[in-house]
């Protein structure tokens, strides 16, 4: 009897999809057999195939957005923006590949030519997350296919329906079935896929804990590429903001978009203890107006549920832990339905908490930290092992220069939210947030490797020194 993986809608608990658990070894073998023919195709051929994929997604945009909304619980409007990101990724990746991996030729010694070209790694495994189950794995899959790799994709066990649909769209567009493979399953299948001898690398988006485990697993395999896109305990510093209402809106966007289930979400709001009251009052007015509801509700919600009851339980335990350590609750993290994972936005002042946990609270929780001066704000921003995103709202140009120079993060913004990084730029973090393999526009860097060649049409060589005279000349 084949094991089935069942996906349910977070907002209702209803069964949405089911499918048989896959065999990672079998899927990798199929991909390896199909690899050569795809890799031998021209970049122009692969580009046109992926442009057809973008058209397939575009023509199914409404249905795809509906599926994403139902399986993740995010509002339909937000799911629609994710679909558009999937479409946009194709042209962005084509441009990035041309810019990051161009064919180069230069003059070498003795009339030779020096050429630099790029090759695909081979079969790449992709492990996807549940918060953006189409956009984030697509950000690995499209650049990998464009470079000539075959891909074996295991979506999150919490969003398998979206992952399966994404692979279906690739096949419909003409990507060979053997080149884009799907593995349905849970953590066990993910570990098995990562351990397959037949893969040439792994592209992962997910938690820091899982990323650390993969880093250890790949430590003795330097011949395999490993790209880790992990989470963050991201700081948002607001300092002398002139437009308090705009600052409040950016705080809410940073902390509570996607129910806080973004790796770039603001987890810590760092403010001046002298002038924070007006800012927090404006922020709380917005927080209290946030509509939390199911994806298709009217009026349109700002937030849906978190991904499942287990995630909601864990967040409530973490919130309670902050209270026990001395945190002052400003807005409770309430469960509106004990049987479903809907949470109201939680806000807690942790200024007085000693040894604050350096964790990614992956949900709608914002921690307030009050500091005396700007230098302390920067020090507090860096008080984390993570280093993904950081933002300064307000401040002078000189203070932003100081913030940019001293804050450790891969994404540093000024008068913009911490989230919503552009796909036309590199995306990645330092510390526990990644392993120096930035994705988005720089994904081409880890999907192909450079090959340097010295080339001449005719073989000409001589040895001028260090030889005895020829025998006949003695």
Spatial CB neighbours of 420, under 8 Å, sequence gap ≥ 6:
253, 257, 264
Which pair of structure tokens corresponds to residue 46?
Answer: 């692969």
Distance between CA atoms of residues 292 and 356, nearest Å:
28
The count of C-alpha atoms lying within 13 angstroms of the C-alpha of 347, restricted to the half-sphere facing its C-beta, is 18
The answer to whether 119 touches 449, Cβ cutoff 8 Å, is yes
Catalytic residue set = 229, 263
Return the number of other C-beta atoms located less than 10 Å from residue 413's C-beta: 23
CA distance to 160, 176, 178, 205, 468, per residue, from 172 (Å): 18, 9, 13, 25, 68
The answer to whether 154 touches 193, Cβ cutoff 8 Å, is yes
Spatial CB neighbours of 201, under 8 Å, sequence gap ≥ 6:
121, 122, 124, 125, 224, 225, 226, 227, 446
Say what the alpha-carbon torsion angle 100, 102, 89, 191 is, to the nearest 10 degrees. -70
Distance between CA atoms of residues 332 and 326, nearest Å:
15
Say what the alpha-carbon torsion angle 55, 61, 64, 69 is, to the nearest 10 degrees. 150
The answer to whether 444 touches 143, Cβ cutoff 8 Å, is yes
Look-up: residue for tokens 């608990």?
Answer: 13
Q: In the chain, count H helices and then E strands.
A: 14, 19
Three-state DSSP state, 168: helix
Q: Which DSSP string do the residues of 332-374 spell out, in sequence order? A: ---BS-TTS--BPPEEEE-TT-TT-------SSEEEEEEESSH
Which pair of structure tokens corresponds to residue 21?
Answer: 């658990």
Distance between CA atoms of residues 194 and 188, nearest Å:
10
Look-up: residue for tokens 């607001």?
Answer: 238
The answer to whether 165 touches 136, Cβ cutoff 8 Å, is no
Distance between CA atoms of residues 441 and 430, nearest Å:
17
How many angstroms from the chain centroid is the CA of residue 200?
A: 20
469 DSSP 8-state letter:
P
Q: To 10 degrees, what angle do helices 160-173 and 61-72 make? A: 160
């Amino acid at each position: 009897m084949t094991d089935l993986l069942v996906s349910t809608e977070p907002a209702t608990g209803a069964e949405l999809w089911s499918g048989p658990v896959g065999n990672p070894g079998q899927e990798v073998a199929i991909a390896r057999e199909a690899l050569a023919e795809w890799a031998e195709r021209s970049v122009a051929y692969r580009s046109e195939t992926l442009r057809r994929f973008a058209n397939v997604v575009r023509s199914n945009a409404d249905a795809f957005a509906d599926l994403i909304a139902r399986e993740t619980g995010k509002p339909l409007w937000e799911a629609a923006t994710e679909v558009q990101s999937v479409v946009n990724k194709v042209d962005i990746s084509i441009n990035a590949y041309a810019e990051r991996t161009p064919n180069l030729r230069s003059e070498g010694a003795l009339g030779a030519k020096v050429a630099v070209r790029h090759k695909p790694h081979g079969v790449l495994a992709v492990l996807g997350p549940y918060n953006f189950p189409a956009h984030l794995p697509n950000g690995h899959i499209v650049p990998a296919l464009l470079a000539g790799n075959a891909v074996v994709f295991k979506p999150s066990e919490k969003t398998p329906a979206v992952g399966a649909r994404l692979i279906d769209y690739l096949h419909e567009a003409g990507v060979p079935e053997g080149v884009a493979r799907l593995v349905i399953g849970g953590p066990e299948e993910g570990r098995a896929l990562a351990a397959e001898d037949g893969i040439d690398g792994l592209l992962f988006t997910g938690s820091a804990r899982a990323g650390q485990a993969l880093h250890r697993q790949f430590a003795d395999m330097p011949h395999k590429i490993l790209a880790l896109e992990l989470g963050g305990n991201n700081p948002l510093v607001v300092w002398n903001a002139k437009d308090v209402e705009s600052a409040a809106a950016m705080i809410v966007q940073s902390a509570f978009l996607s129910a806080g289930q973004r790796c770039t979400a603001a987890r810590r709001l760092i403010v001046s203890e002298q002038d924070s009251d007006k800012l927090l009052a404006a922020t709380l007015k917005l927080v209290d107006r946030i509509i939390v509801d199911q994806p298709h509700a009217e009026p349109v919600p700002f937030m849906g549920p978190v991904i499942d009851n287990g995630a909601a339980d864990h967040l409530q335990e973490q919130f309670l832990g902050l209270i026990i350590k001395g945190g002052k609750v400003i807005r409770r993290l309430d469960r509106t339905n004990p049987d479903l994972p809907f949470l109201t936005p939680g806000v807690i002042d942790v200024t007085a908490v000693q040894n604050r946990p350096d964790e990614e609270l992956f949900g709608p929780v914002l921690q307030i930290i009050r500091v005396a001066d700007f230098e302390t704000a920067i020090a507090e921003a860096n008080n984390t092992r993570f280093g993904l995103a950081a933002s300064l709202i307000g401040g002078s140009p000189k203070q932003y220069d100081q913030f940019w120079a001293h804050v450790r993060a891969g994404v540093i913004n000024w008068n913009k939210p911490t989230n919503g990084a552009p796909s036309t730029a590199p995306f990645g973090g330092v510390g526990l947030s990644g392993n120096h393999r930035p994705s988005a526009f720089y994904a081409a860097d880890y999907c192909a490797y450079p090959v340097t060649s010295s080339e001449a049409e005719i073989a000409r060589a001589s040895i001028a020194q260090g030889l005895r005279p020829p025998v006949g000349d003695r």
